[in-house]
Chain A
Amino acid sequence: MDFFHVLVVLLESTIRVSVPLVFAALAGLFTERAGVFDIGLEGKMLGAAFAAGAAAAVAQSVWIGLIAAILISVLLSLVHGYASITQRGNQIVSGVAINFIVAGSTVILGEAWFRQGGRTPALAEGARFQIVNFPGADAAREVPILGPIYADLLSGHFLLTYLAFAMVPISWWILYRTRFGLRLRAVGENPGAVDTAGISVIWLRYRAVICCGILCGFAGAYLSLAMTAGFVKGMTAGKGYIALAALIFAKWRPKNVMLACLLFGFLDALAIRLQGTPLPLVGQVPVQLMQALPYILTVILLAGFIGKAIPPKAGGVPYVKER
């Protein structure tokens, strides 16, 4: 029973830390499937988190915070889109640039506007997301096994948490069951064929980039409006890169994206849990090894030792009509 209790707590924190990863990895899924590499997920998430924290603090409204997050994130996506689609610049370089610009400006603007050492003011109850409790959750907790699963795992999360997991089948449906999704995937594999069919490659890729911006906006808003009450500088702390790793680990498929994010989230939760406690057989595992594990796993996967991750064929290549 004690082991079961620990497991429930562990899985609950897994869900909590996986949410921004799921949003960001799905965001990456849309652009990369359309043939635009995006290592600026980190920057967009950070920019969105700042916008959410700042707007929610000023307007005292969680919804205005969410809208601001999405607007800023889409704006940054469009900068990336303009550089990599219209100007045919190097997509990696553009992503790196966005990460730096956001990392610097969130601190500078935050300090100039709020003077709290790069933080935004702590948010009051109405200005942040509240936990959603399912009916009868407290009463059900006493029921053995099923009770804690219902009360702690299914119930008791933020609205955005449910949205994140709902976005997985929705993204799948958009990408695999709609005309837009089919064209989006085609433009990432063979943009020439899409162009021949009379469909604008540029406009399709811009729409994919906008989808990415919206989802990164949710990821950022979750960080500063739900997980914590306000923005702290550098609060994404590499989550954008972990999401990128999860996306590759998932071989660019929606369901696998969710599983990969849950796996990486679980490793994160486990690392916090295991800090300082020795394991049977292996002894004490250095916490740094646990932290590095998602990256190590991704490297091993990319090297083709666990299946092979094949990226969209036209990924990273700007489309030139005349060619």
Chain B
Amino acid sequence: MSTPYAKLPGWVEYGLVPLINLAVAFIVAGLVVLLVGENPFEAAYHLINGAFGRGEYIGFTLYYATTFIFTGLAVAVAFHCGLFNIGGEGQAYVGGIGVALACLWLDQTMPWYVVFPIAIVGSAFFGALWAFLPGWLQAKRGSHIVITTIMFNFIASSLMVYLLTRVLKPLGSMAPQTRTFAEGGQLPKLDWLLSVFGLNIGTAPFNISFLLALVAAFAVWVLIWRTKLGYEMRTMGHSASAARYAGIRESRITVIAMMISGGLAGMMALNPIMGEQFRMQLDFVQGAGFVGIAVALMGRSHPGGIIPAAILFGVLYQGGAEIAFEMPSISRDMIVIIQGLVILFAGALENMFRPAITRVFAMRGQRAAAVVQTKGA
């Protein structure tokens, strides 16, 4: 008995099962709202209204979604290779160095379309660098990737505090952040994209890095399902021993997969640094690396699933702010609970409802077969 569960049709496997898991996560979150003494339906109304009620809200929702597409893709790429990269948070944080350096160097002399590509390369480079060491240590020295990447998150946080308080901070300033970038370090907003639908973006920082995120999602799909490297990664993810038997160089693939994953996580830094704050601040990642885990689990590690999952978390982040505003007893920490519940039900407990669903479909299959038989007779 190698596969404990029977195969289900595609739409059930990739549509119904995640939806049921998600629904359970939201029901439990609703119970928490009840426990706090508020009406869950009212909270849900504010959530939806806060995320979609106005052009500006939609802009914010998509701005958050941009960030989560990058971190979700990062986790997914490593998942396909059988690696759990829990270090997206640290990789995104360190990736910020690349963005900040490019902007500090060129922002006063060059237009954004020159700075942006350099910042992309810089962020991906620093993110990949921070993922390279854990990957290399796993491949060559056998240390567990999960533990190493957790440790690297903490090391990154100490490193960035050091850099922002001692090195990158302008002279005479007290705040632990870089100087504000000039025009060249500021990405243009995608207001034209929303105005096509007759929406006004207002102050929302929805910017061009959203398009980069979509390109990255497509590139990941090509990489995983249409290239030799992707095939080797998936083989390793399914069975490391089979990969070894087929002559795939395990350590090489591990390091490459981790570096791609880290590079994607690092590119997340473009969105808040060049798109919203126009400077690098302490803690600009704000847990987005961990949201990436939830996004990748919900999206079943497929770019086609990751984009809607990232938008869902964008809705939670933007709509959650609105709930916190309208219902003071529910702070934004509600999002953290929902995030945890989604990780629990879509990740660790993903098979909880599978036996029941399988049974329902097996019964339906038998009935259909019986109908065919009686008609034939």
- Which A residues have a C-beta under 8 Å from some C-beta of B? 37, 39, 79, 82-84, 87-94, 96-105, 107-109, 111-112, 238, 241, 244-245, 248, 286, 288-289, 291-292, 295-296, 298-299, 302-304, 311, 320, 322-323
Contacts and interface: CB of A to CB of B under 8 A. Distances in A.
B331 interface: yes
A106 to B, nearest CB: 8
B158 A96 contact: no
B351 A89 contact: yes
Contacts of B347: 89-90, 93-94, 96-97
Contacts of B334: 104, 108
Contact of A90 (B143, B154, B331, B348): B348
Closest 10 pairs between A and B when the two form their complex, measured CB to CB: A100-B340, A104-B336, A104-B337, A101-B340, A94-B348, A302-B143, A89-B348, A97-B344, A292-B158, A93-B347
Contact of A83 (B159, B333, B348): B348
Nearest to A297: B151
B93 to A, nearest CB: 13
B258 to A, nearest CB: 14
B350 A299 contact: no
The number of chain B residues touching the other chain, given as a range, is: 35 or more
A103 B333 contact: yes
Contacts of B337: 100-101, 104-105, 108
A96 B151 contact: no
A295 B159 CA distance: 12
A98 B344 contact: yes
A303 B349 CA distance: 32
B221 interface: no
A96 B86 contact: yes
Nearest to A82: B349
Nearest to B335: A104
B155 A295 contact: yes
A158 to B, nearest CB: 27
A87 B348 contact: yes
A112 B37 contact: yes
A82 B347 CA distance: 13
B35 A109 contact: yes
- Which one of A87, A92, A102 has the greatest number of beta carbons of chain B within 10 Å? A92
B239 to A, nearest CB: 14
Nearest to A233: B333
B140 to A, nearest CB: 8
B150 A241 contact: yes
B166 A286 contact: yes
Interface in B56-83: none
B86 A92 contact: yes
B283 to A, nearest CB: 13
20 contacts: A87-B349, A89-B350, A89-B351, A92-B84, A92-B86, A94-B344, A97-B340, A97-B341, A100-B339, A101-B337, A103-B340, A109-B36, A241-B154, A288-B159, A288-B162, A292-B158, A296-B151, A298-B151, A302-B143, A320-B4
B74 to A, nearest CB: 15
B17 interface: no
A101 B343 CA distance: 9
Interface string B265-307: 0000000000000000000000000100100010000000000
B1 to A, nearest CB: 4
B137 to A, nearest CB: 5
Nearest to A286: B162
B101 interface: no
Interface in B135-155: 137, 141-144, 146-148, 150-152, 154-155
